[in-house]
Structure 1
Amino acid sequence: MHMRLHKEPTASPRMRLIMIVCLLPLVLITIGGLVLLWPDGPGQDLPGGGPMTNTAPDVSHAEARVTAVDASSCESDEPDPMLEADCVEFTAEVDGQEGSLYVTPDAIMSGVGVGDTLKVLDFTKSADHAEMGTDYVFIDYDRDVPILALAIIYGLVVLAVAGFRGLRALTGLGFAGVVLLVFMIPAILDSKPPILVAMVAASAIMVIALYLAHGVSTRTTTALFGTVAGIIITGLLGAWMTSWANLGIAYTEEGFLLTGTTNVSMADMIVCAILITGLGVLNDVTITQASAVWELATVAPELKSRQLFARAMRIGRDHIASTVYTITFAYVGSALATLIIISAHDQSFFETLTLGEMSIEVVSILVCSIGLVIAIPLTTGLGVLVVRSGLRRPSHNDETAPTPQ
């Protein structure tokens, strides 16, 4: 059976020039934004200068290994956890020095035992050491090794399945982490405009991550423009809804700490969070839609622009449905404990969703979903314009085709 293959469509020289002309300002604005908004350096973390600390003088964070657990003072075999926190005696070792360890009731319930590695506060050098009555205070488990192992497994799985493209994607992910940790967070703490900082950070991540993962091509540039459009829509809608719904109030401990110790606006922080949340999902749907247009145009170059758009949007609608579920369930999973508590209250579920921290989550879900849904037809339409600019009628001699990028 004879199968005729078609060459993958490419944009016309005129269209490529237009895309370059549109791309250059984006890159230049991003570079300019990085330069203008770059944090001034150490000592600017707080309005008064200096880094934030959550420990008293002469109290330090340390890693401790539990060396002994003595429950002989407990009168009952199944004591109340609150009582057991007082009757169970723990001994831990920090840098070769053993001392008493206070463990919280919830940690006792989780089963702290001999050999466990913990994060603790070291009070041995504190002036209040005698009043504390203990050398070390439990903070949390030391999870460095399990999380590092899981990250390595994740990287190996990506490399095994996606190969060199997976390596490029992981490199882009690493770059995104650097942008967030080195530029965005310090710049916000340095009292730079949070929304502008988030937009510049998102733009830098998009440009580098997309081209690293998918290569430099008109297809990737199409996805980039679609992502930019989605980010702009998400940012504008997020800013409007945050103001209209009066969400700029600190409802969490982190929010109170941030607004109480810095000049950062809680409303601006919510918009930043919405932008960064939407960035990853937008990258996903736009590159998928661009690829759908290119593949459809490759196998059916005779399709008119309207037909090509309609077929690509069939794929896009399926992607919309699945991705909206993804965003919603991701938020639900992160707030599951809160939802369980809400269900036990003598209050309607809808009313509870419009209060406090939950209202922020609901607005984030809806804003990100709207940006995502609008970005799909925009990317699809742009992709159709690009591929149709370079399509020609296939001849009977078109029997071979390069592997689509």
Structure 2
Amino acid sequence: MRLHKEPTASPRMRLIMIVCLLPLVLITIGGLVLLWPDGPGQDLPGGGPMTNTAPDVSHAEARVTAVDASSCESDEPDPMLEADCVEFTAEVDGQEGSLYVTPDAIMSGVGVGDTLKVLDFTKSADHAEMGTDYVFIDYDRDVPILALAIIYGLVVLAVAGFRGLRALTGLGFAGVVLLVFMIPAILDSKPPILVAMVAASAIMVIALYLAHGVSTRTTTALFGTVAGIIITGLLGAWMTSWANLGIAYTEEGFLLTGTTNVSMADMIVCAILITGLGVLNDVTITQASAVWELATVAPELKSRQLFARAMRIGRDHIASTVYTITFAYVGSALATLIIISAHDQSFFETLTLGEMSIEVVSILVCSIGLVIAIPLTTGLGVLVVRSGLRRPSHNDETAPTPQ
């Protein structure tokens, strides 16, 4: 069997790609500079029990030391009643005190030895009025989540090796961009959609080259991802306006629209862009790799044949990725779906009302973006690969197939 070297783009094609890549990099850097948040961090009211606490009320880590249910009269426990009759004792920094646990936490099974996050009222002026020393906020999950993250990293490194390490580094960079630039810039009243586009571009450029190396193959995937992001952003902005989705349906939405200048319509488009980014990155790098691998094993294929064979892979990827997007959204909105299904209304009406309509539009917009990105990336990949291919001759070096 004849073994072929991996195809490379022609010098002219590489030059064209560099010329196209430079403006993208420069625009991204310019966008980061112009849109970088310059105001102080904004502290929103009503951010939950872990924020904006009253004076002399602090957060603490507590360990449950005793649970006394002797005051409960009912043989069949009712969480609402148990919240008043069950006495919990917790220890914070060596000091024991009474602990109030919410009914939902009682249902989850708070027991002796559990480590919890609590509000400490022992030094508050409202201590006597509260009638308890500590108030339950949530379980302390630092150790299990950190352990799971370590296991995840080890599995990635074990399977993907150095490339997995580069991918994890790119993921870390993406988190920094989101937390240090995108979210603060939106809170600083910068245009949310522009901020999301710049953040997505920065993540793509760094993460793709980190994970897959600097090559014409990676650059092809990058251009395909950029095209998909642009299509997704334009379609998302149009559908958000046409379907009148700029309404706050959640507590977080009410908080943002009531205390900041952030538009819910813009936030929806931003969410669509960031959601689509990961999926687009997946399909474009896969298609670029498919084209390169097919061209490596069958360099005699004409452009049309190469495109057709790569698109066979792409069509399978489209089907599986569309399922992935849909099930991811369904999983995140499962509680809402269960509640809505209990009402007497049609399935179509359920999907077009309130928060569910936002989910449906997000699924469809992201799916359209990735479906269009696949043939675009495939076509570009074929163009790049064919620019450096020549038909094999009898003088080509061959090597025996490894046994």
Cα distance per residue 1:106-141 (max 9 Å; x no partner): 111111001101111112222211111111111111
Task: Give percent identity, aligned residues only.
Answer: 100
Preserved contact between residue 40 and residue 190 of structure 1 (Cα < 8 Å): yes
Q: Find the residue that maps to 1:54 and give its secondary structure.
A: coil
Change (3 A) 1:128 1:403: farther
Structure 1 pair 402/374, CA: closer, same or farther in 2 (3 Å)? Answer: farther
Question: Does structure 2 conserve the Cα–Cα contact (< 8 Å) formed by 1:305 and 1:388?
Answer: yes
Structure-2 change in CA distance of 1:46 and 1:143 (3 Å): closer
Deviates more, 1:34-43 or 1:262-271: 34-43
How far apart in 2 are the matches of 1:44 and 1:106? 31
Q: Distance in 2 between matches of 1:120 and 1:383?
A: 55
Query: Matches of 2:49 and 2:81 in 1, distance apart?
Result: 38
Match of 1:149 among 121, 127, 147: 147
Seen in structure 2, the aligned counterparts of structure 1 residues 145 and 360 have a Cα distance that, compared at 3 Å, is: same
SS at 1:113's partner residue? coil
5+ residue gaps in structure 2?
A: none
Contact 1:7/1:402, CA 8 A, preserved across alignment: no
Query: Measured at CA, do residues 52 and 228 of structure 1 come closer, stay the same or move farther in structure 2, by a change above 3 Å?
Result: farther
Identify the residue that residue 133 of structure 2 maps to in structure 1: 135
SS state at 2:9 partner? coil
CA-to-partner distance for each residue in 1:54-102, whole Å, 9 max, x for gaps? 3222222221111111111011232211111100001111222221111
Q: Deviations over 1:338-367 (max 9, x none)?
A: 111222111111101111111111110000
Q: Does structure 1 conserve the Cα–Cα contact (< 8 Å) formed by 2:291 and 2:381?
A: yes
Matching residue of 1:104: 102
Change (3 A) 1:51 1:151: closer
The CA deviation at 1:48 is: 15
What's the secondary structure of 2:99's corresponding residue? strand
Q: Is the 8 A contact 1:250 1:259 kept in 2?
A: yes
Once the 2 structures are TM-superposed, how far is the Cα of residue 288 of structure 1 from its aligned partner? 0.3
Q: Which runs of 5+ in 1 are unaligned?
A: none
Q: Is the 8 A contact 2:37 2:184 kept in 1?
A: yes
Alpha-carbon distance in 2 for matches of 1:150, 1:129: 38
Alignment partner, residue 302 of structure 1: 300
Q: Secondary structure at the match of 1:137?
A: strand
| 2:247 counterpart residue number | 249
Question: Does the aligned pair in 1 maintain the 2:3–2:401 contact within 8 Å?
Answer: no
Q: How many residues align?
A: 403
Question: Residues of 2 paired with 1:380 and 1:273: CA distance?
Answer: 26
Distance 1:37 1:404, change over 3 A: farther
Cα deviation 1:27-60 (Å, max 9, x = unaligned)? 0000011111111153445699999943222222
The answer to whether the 8 A contact 2:35-2:195 is kept is yes
Asked if the contact 2:46–2:52 (Cα under 8 Å) also holds between the matched residues in 1, the reply is no
Aligned twin of 1:338: 336
CA distance change for structure 1 residues 43 and 387 in 2, over 3 Å: closer, same or farther?
closer
Q: Secondary structure at the match of 2:63?
A: strand
Instruction: Decide whether the 8 Å contact of 1:90 with 1:101 is kept in 2.
Output: yes
Q: Deviations over 1:278-307 (max 9, x none)?
A: 000000000000000111111111111111
Asked whether the equivalents of residues 117 and 141 of structure 1 are also in contact (C-alpha less than 8 Å), the reply is yes
- Say whether the 8 Å CA contact 2:66–2:90 is kept in structure 1: yes
**Does the 8 A contact of 2:37 with 2:181 survive in 1?**
yes
**Contact kept? 1:7, 1:398, Cα under 8 Å:** no
SS in 1 for 2:97: strand
Tell me, yes or no, if the aligned pair for 1:7 and 1:400 is still in contact at 8 Å: no
* SS of match in other structure, 2:62: strand
Q: Report how far residue 397 of structure 1 moved.
A: 3.6
Structure 2 CA distance for partners of 1:109 and 1:43, relative to 1, 3 Å? closer
Contact 1:46 1:189 survives alignment (8 Å): no
Quick one: distance in 1 between partners of 2:327 and 2:270?
21
* Change in 2 beyond 3 A, CA 1:202/1:91: same
Deviates more, 1:5-14 or 1:75-84: 75-84
CA distance in 1, matches of 2:173, 2:399: 34
Q: Deviations over 1:192-211 (max 9, x none)?
A: 11111100000000000000
Match of 1:363 among 349, 361, 381: 361
| Structure 1 pair 51–128 and aligned structure 2 pair: CA distance change class (3 A) | closer
How much is the aligned-residue C-alpha RMSD, in angstroms? 2.7
2: CA distance, partners of 1:343 / 1:402? 63
Residues in 1 aligned to 2:373 and 2:92: alpha-carbon distance in whole angstroms: 53
